[in-house]
Amino acid sequence: MLIDTYGRVATDLRVSLTDRCNLRCTYCMPEEGLQWLAKPDLLTDDEIVRLITIAVRDLGVEEVRFTGGEPLLRPGLVGIVERVARLTPRPQMSLTTNGIGLERTAAALRDAGLDRVNVSLDTLRPDVFQALTRRKRHADVLRGLEAARAAGLTPVKVNTVLMPGLNDDEAPDLLAWAVEQGYELRFIEQMPLDAQHGWKRDGMITAGDILASLRTRFTLTPEGQDERGSAPAERWIVDGGPHRVGVIASVTRPFCRACDRTRLTADGQIRTCLFATEETDLRAALRSDAPDAEIARIWKLAMWGKKAGSGLDDPSFLQPERPMSAIGG
């Protein structure tokens, strides 16, 4: 069991498969990209599957989320999913993706055992998409979403970040579109995970701003804490149901008290929090032929030291050194 000193138990594992991405989102990385991890530093497919096996079999992990960077850029992704699906007990598996390439891979991922996807899409306007991502790939994302829905990777969740002066006026339109398409929309407050450290608390679009905008067109009824559990998103029933919309308010409404996540970076480091500044190295143990029991011990010790909160509610919060692409969302 992965328990910390505050009694929280981690049952949800986020696995970053690569630090690379084929977009250059302004809130994530600079236009010129980043210095990518060298291939020898990345975990191999076998190493990833071994660590997930230890987590599921020995440490009580029940859900595995594959992230990046952009996980669809990982050549062995389908094979990794297929192997994890054969574990006993079988974990629930999901994927967070920008949707580019999902059109051609959705069916294969479903057949391999993937349960559902989260797709990032911040705007319905192609010109705004290009301004936000520095790429002309809006139509590819829409086709990827359609392919995920057709493949049965449901519920298909759409993750949206609103940025001042770019797409901050789109919340109602995005929700109307998501309801029409049968997607579950989740707004995410912009978080301080950009490599260029351009994030500023002042001026960010808050959960309160998002909800106020949505209520100009929709009636929102809180779903309630019992339904939420340890999920990061607060959810509201839209116009009496059945559709729902979520808001992940990591900055203004931290949910650390109910956190059940542990994170594995693409180069084999354990992070107890997305915003942690410390990591615990599992790759070295793997490559020194440590037995599974020793790797599990190291992992449990790392989680035992998890802090009470992310620190985001502290105005003097120090941004983590690694950008989102290297950590996994």
Task: State yes or no: 57 annotated in a binding site.
Answer: no
Task: State yes or no: 8 annotated in a binding site.
Answer: no
Task: Give per-residue burial for 135-161: e unless 16+ CB within 10 Å, then b.
Answer: eebbebbbbbbbbbbebebeebbbbbb
Task: State yes or no: 86 annotated in a binding site.
Answer: no
At 116, is the secondary structure helix, strand, or coil? strand
**Which residue type is seen at 132?**
L
Task: State yes or no: 191 annotated in a binding site.
Answer: yes
Task: State yes or no: 7 annotated in a binding site.
Answer: no
Task: State yes or no: 230 annotated in a binding site.
Answer: no
Task: State yes or no: 27 annotated in a binding site.
Answer: yes
Task: State yes or no: 229 annotated in a binding site.
Answer: no
DSSP state, residue 312:
T
Task: State yes or no: 268 annotated in a binding site.
Answer: no
Task: State yes or no: 309 annotated in a binding site.
Answer: no
- Residue 195's φ and ψ, nearest 5 degrees, are -65, -30
Task: State yes or no: 14 annotated in a binding site.
Answer: yes
Cis bond upstream, residue 89 (ω within 30):
yes
Task: State yes or no: 200 annotated in a binding site.
Answer: no
Task: State yes or no: 120 annotated in a binding site.
Answer: yes
> What length does the chain have?
329
DSSP state, residue 211:
H
Task: State yes or no: 261 annotated in a binding site.
Answer: yes
Task: State yes or no: 201 annotated in a binding site.
Answer: no
Angle 102-112/138-151 helices, nearest 10 degrees?
30
Q: DSSP letter string over 44-62?
A: PHHHHHHHHHHHHHHS---
Task: State yes or no: 271 annotated in a binding site.
Answer: no
Task: State yes or no: 21 annotated in a binding site.
Answer: yes
**Residues 87 and 67 sit within 8 Å (Cβ to Cβ):** no
What's the distance, CA 17 to chain centroid? Answer: 12
Q: List binding-site positions.
A: 14, 21, 25, 27-28, 65, 69, 96, 120, 157, 191, 256, 259, 261-263, 273
Q: List binding-site positions for GTP.
A: 14, 65, 96, 157, 261-263
Q: List binding-site positions for S-adenosyl-L-methionine.
A: 27, 69, 120, 191
Q: List binding-site positions for [4Fe-4S] cluster.
A: 21, 25, 28, 256, 259, 273
